[in-house]
Amino acid sequence: MTGARSTQSGSNREDSEDGSDAVRGSPAPGEVLGRLPADAGLRRQLAAAARSRGRTASVAGEIADIEAELAGIEVEPVDLTAARRRVAEATGEIERLKERVAALRGDARARRAVDAETDETLDDLEAAAAELSAAQTEAIAAEQALERARAEAARARDERRRRLRLRDRLRNRRGVARRELAEAMYPEFRRALAVVPGGDPSAAGTGPGAYDGDPVAASLAAVRAAALDGPVELRGSAARRIEESGRSPRSLLRTADVRFRGARDGR
């Protein structure tokens, strides 16, 4: 029963990893297997063991292509708000100046009707007309800038959608690679279960998804099946398991650097 519960927990971790690490590169084997008990699910541990032995998945080239394509996507933010504000301000200024020009024209006509002096009014009218022409030019430029911003925003949306599609595809391909590598390592893993403390080859089943045994034993077997260059740190239950076996941790795990942390602290 304990093994079944532990396996379910490992499966949940595996599902979470598959869904949340879409664009992260595959971690180095030591990052996955360098501290036991491992935080990763069984497939990820076995895939790391396979990579430590120099194995690559059949989809490795496809994964590299997707990663390169993703790295080439740069989506710059587009500020449509500022462009819209510029258009609105230019339009408002045009309306204000049109009203001023109309008012000055009316004033000039009224002054002519009574033979009053119109020079100052005409000067104001000329200045207002010049301001109106400049505002209209600014409005055209603002509209053009808004159209460019809208086109850039549309391109950015397309790029974001392409990036999401690539991430989904990368997640899928990485899952395929992880399953393939884990399955390739499974015969070696099954043999290692017969050696490590608490291991039971009969609990291995036909593949990583069928494993129904002790998770600590599984991690120990994954390390034994791997070819790690760096240290392996054993903590809590993993450390106690090795100490209680009375066997040499280096020969048991087939790694030269084994370190113990917290063997008796209950973790």
11 pLDDT more than 50: no
Give start and end residues of each alpha helix (H) in 72-214.
Answer: 80-113, 119-193
Cα dihedral 11, 13, 18, 21 in deg (nearest 10): -170
pLDDT above 50: residue 241:
yes
What is the per-residue pLDDT across 137-186, written as a single tens digit (0 to 9) for each? 999 999 999 999 999 999 999 999 999 999 999 999 999 999 999 999 99
**256: Cβ–Cβ under 8 A, 6 or more apart, which residues?**
250
* Residue 246: exposure state from Cβ atoms within 10 A (0-12, 13-18, ≥19): exposed
Confidence (pLDDT) at 89? 96
Q: Is the pTM of this model over 0.75?
A: no
pLDDT value at position 113?
82
Burial class (CB in 10 A: 0-12, 13-18, 19+), 83: buried
The full set of domain ranges for the chain reads 2-59+170-261, 80-167
% residues pLDDT > 70 (the chain): 88
pLDDT over 60 at 10, yes or no:
no
Instruction: Return the DSSP state at 229.
Output: S
Q: How far apart are CA 1 and CA 205, in angstroms?
A: 16
